C-alpha cells in the first residue's frame, strides 16, 4: 500500500474581494487528507463517508483523476483507494482539493512514473471542476505546494514567508452549511448597489492583504491581528457574515486571540483566529467549555508528500 497526504488551507485575508481583482492571501495548514492505494478491485472507500459508489456525488472527483492520469501516463492497473480526511467537509478548508491532490500524488507514485508537483496540481485542478464549477485554483495550489500563496486576478505567487513562531492558529468550525454560490452572488449584488462605496470597501480589502504580508515579514503580531478584525468587518459590511460567525469571532477575542475572521465564503463554515502560544490553553479551555468544534493547526510549508 502506498499513501500520500495533502494539507487543507485557510484564507488569512481577501476572500470575496478577489472577484473584483483584489488580492487574497492563503496558507496551507496541518489538517490533512491521506489517500492510500493498493492493487485491488476498483473500490473507493472513505473512512468518513463509507464506500464511494458510481452513483455517489463524490464519485466524479475520483473518476476525473483516474481519467486524467491515464490520459497522461497510460493505463492504470485496478486498484483500491482508501481516503481518510481530517478536514471538515464543506467548511471552506479545501477538503475536495486536498483529496484530489493526495489521490493524484498517491496514484502517480503507485504506478511509478516520473512526475512533477505541477502535474499533480494540474490534474487535481481539472478534477476539482467536477466539484466546483469554476475553481480558482487556490485550494489545489496550496494543497500541492504548501506555504503562503498570494492570488490576484488569476495569477498565483508563492511567498517565502513564515508565520511568527510564537503564534498559533485556531480554526473553529461553526458547523453551519452554506451555499457558496448564493453568498458570492449576494455579496456581488450588494457591491453593485453600493457603487463607489463598494469600490472603496474592496480597495481597502486589497490594502489589508498587502499590509498583512508586511506585518508577517516584520513579525508585527498585533498589526496582523488588527488587520484580521478589520477584514472581518469589511466582510460583514458586504453581507458575508452571520450572527453565529460574529459570535465566534467575539468569543475568540474575549478568550485572548489577537485577531479572528471568517475564512471562506462566510455565513457559516470556519472562523480562524490567531493567538500567542502562551494564551493557547485558555482559548482551548474556553472553546471546549462552550462546546465549539475547533482545531489547533500549524502552517504546512511542504505540501503534498508520500507518507
Residue 139 annotated in active site: yes
| 57 torsion bin: left (phi>0), alpha (psi -120 to 50), beta (else) | alpha
178: cell is 452554506
| Candidates 80, 84, 139, 220; catalytic one | 139
Q: What are phi and psi of 46, to 5 degrees?
A: -110, 130
Would strands 79-85 and 44-46 be described as parallel, antiparallel, or unpaired?
A: parallel
Residues 6+ apart with CB under 8 A from 133: 181
CA dist 159 and 91 (Å) reads 25
CA dist 257 and 168 (Å) reads 9
Tell me the H-state helices in the chain. Answer: 59-73, 95-110, 117-128, 138-145, 180-194, 196-217, 221-237, 243-254, 280-289
Would strands 167-173 and 155-159 be described as parallel, antiparallel, or unpaired?
A: unpaired
CA dist 100 and 178 (Å) reads 22
98 class by beta-carbon count within 10 Å (0-12 exposed, 13-18 middle, 19+ buried) = buried
Q: Cite the active site residues.
A: 139
Amino acid at each position: 500500500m502506498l499513501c500520500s497526504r495533502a494539507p487543507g488551507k485557510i484564507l488569512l485575508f481577501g476572500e470575496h474581494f478577489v472577484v473584483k481583482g483584489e488580492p487574497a492571501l492563503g496558507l496551507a495548514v496541518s489538517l490533512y487528507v491521506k489517500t492510500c492505494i493498493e492493487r485491488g478491485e476498483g473500490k473507493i472507500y472513505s473512512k468518513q463517508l463509507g464506500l464511494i459508489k458510481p452513483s455517489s456525488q463524490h464519485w466524479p472527483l475520483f473518476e476525473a483523476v483516474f481519467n486524467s492520469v491515464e490520459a497522461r501516463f497510460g493505463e492504470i492497473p485496478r486498484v483500491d483507494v482508501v481516503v481518510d480526511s481530517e478536514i471538515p467537509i464543506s467548511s471552506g478548508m479545501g477538503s475536495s482539493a486536498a483529496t484530489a491532490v493526495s489521490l493524484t500524488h498517491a496514484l502517480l507514485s503507485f504506478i511509478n512514473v516520473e512526475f512533477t508537483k505541477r502535474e499533480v496540481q494540474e490534474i487535481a485542478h481539472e478534477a476539482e471542476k467536477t466539484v466546483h464549477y469554476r475553481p480558482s485554483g487556490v485550494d489545489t495550489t496550496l494543497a500541492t505546494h504548501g506555504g503562503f500563496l498570494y492570488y490576484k486576478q488569476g495569477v498565483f505567487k508563492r511567498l517565502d514567508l513564515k508565520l511568527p513562531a510564537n503564534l498559533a492558529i485556531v480554526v473553529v468550525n461553526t458547523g453551519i452549511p452554506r451555499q457558496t454560490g448564493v453568498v458570492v452572488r449576494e455579496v456581488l449584488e450588494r457591491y453593485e448597489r453600493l457603487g463607489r462605496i463598494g469600490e472603496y470597501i474592496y480597495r481597502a480589502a486589497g490594502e489589508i492583504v498587502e499590509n498583512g504580508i508586511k506585518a508577517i515579514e516584520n513579525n508585527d503580531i498585533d498589526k496582523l491581528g488588527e488587520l484580521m478584525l478589520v477584514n472581518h468587518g469589511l466582510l460583514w459590511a458586504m453581507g458575508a457574515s452571520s450572527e453565529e460567525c460574529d459570535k465566534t469571532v467575539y468569543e475568540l477575542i474575549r478568550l485572548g486571540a489577537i485577531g479572528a475572521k471568517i475564512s471562506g465564503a462566510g455565513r457559516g463554515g470556519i472562523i480562524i483566529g490567531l493567538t500567542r502560544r502562551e494564551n493557547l490553553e485558555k482559548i482551548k479551555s474556553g472553546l471546549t467549555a462552550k462546546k465549539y468544534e475547533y482545531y489547533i493547526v500549524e502552517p504546512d510549508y511542504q505540501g503534498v508528500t508520500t507518507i
